[in-house]
A and B are shown apart, each in its own frame.
Chain A
């Protein structure tokens, strides 16, 4: 599949580097992604075999909210003509721009790769396994769902800051920097865990499917619009 995003000479070096491997597995694919795929299949299969359908749907919810963010991140890259809010450029081998590591096995969008995709689905499942069974229970006087959403968001932002520090996740906008991570906290991760816990807590599996369906519809519209405008 050819990249739809049109190359722009004004793109930053990180963006140019990411663009060059965007949806080009022949340039980036690596074997390690196959065992990760199998680990993912094992986790989902095990949970489904034990009847934990809503747990898997919670993972899907977190994954879908992240895809929504990745879509608008691509929009910002295309519309600004300079850079995405976050980028996942390849490693030092490409363009010699001094980035760490070897990059992703497969860049799906300008700031989204196959590793992130598997990671977020599994994160959704794992974060719900931590929740108390009692939905009403309070921790430090706070509803436990809100408490865990805030704690997990904070931990995830810390990991993001480390990835940025390590130069595998590039941030080129002033409002999205390690020095001011609160926007990243509020719209980067809090919606992820909120959606996962909301989906997990639905009274029926049908309602969980409905929640996931709404998020999937949002993503599908975003992808169609982005593809039509060559923004993704």
Chain B
């Protein structure tokens, strides 16, 4: 059986849910990737000696 293929543009309510869900999913990715990159690129800078 070949199912009928649906177009999300024909279903505004479903499209709104998909957009909202995508924003949340991408937020999860964003938070995680920000953390991964900050850890991956963070370099400890030598502390400057206080000038007397």
**Are B31 and A198 in contact, with the CB atoms below 8 A?**
yes
- List A contacts of B17 (CB < 8 A): 72, 75-76, 79
Residues of chain A from 114 to 142 with CB closer than 8 A to chain B in the complex: 135-136, 138
**Are A79 and B32 in contact, with the CB atoms below 8 A?**
no
Task: State whether the Cβ of A93 lies closer than 8 Å to any Cβ in chain B.
Answer: no
Which stretch from A21-29, A37-45, A173-181 is at the chain B interface? A173-181
The contact size tier of chain A is 35 or more
B43, closest chain A residue (CB): A136
Residues of chain B from 1 to 32 with CB closer than 8 A to chain A in the complex: 1, 3-8, 11, 13-14, 17-18, 20-22, 24-26, 28-29, 31-32
Number of A-B residue pairs at CB separation under 8 A: 104
Given known A-B contacts A65-B28, A80-B14, A186-B26, A194 and B4 have beta carbons under 8 A apart: no
List chain B positions with a Cβ less than 8 A from chain A: 1, 3-8, 11, 13-14, 17-18, 20-22, 24-26, 28-29, 31-33, 35-37, 39-42
Task: List 26 A-B pairs, Cβ < 8 Å.
Answer: A65-B25, A72-B21, A76-B17, A79-B13, A79-B14, A82-B11, A83-B3, A135-B36, A136-B42, A143-B36, A143-B39, A143-B41, A145-B40, A146-B33, A172-B3, A172-B5, A173-B8, A174-B5, A186-B29, A187-B25, A190-B25, A191-B29, A194-B28, A194-B31, A195-B32, A197-B36
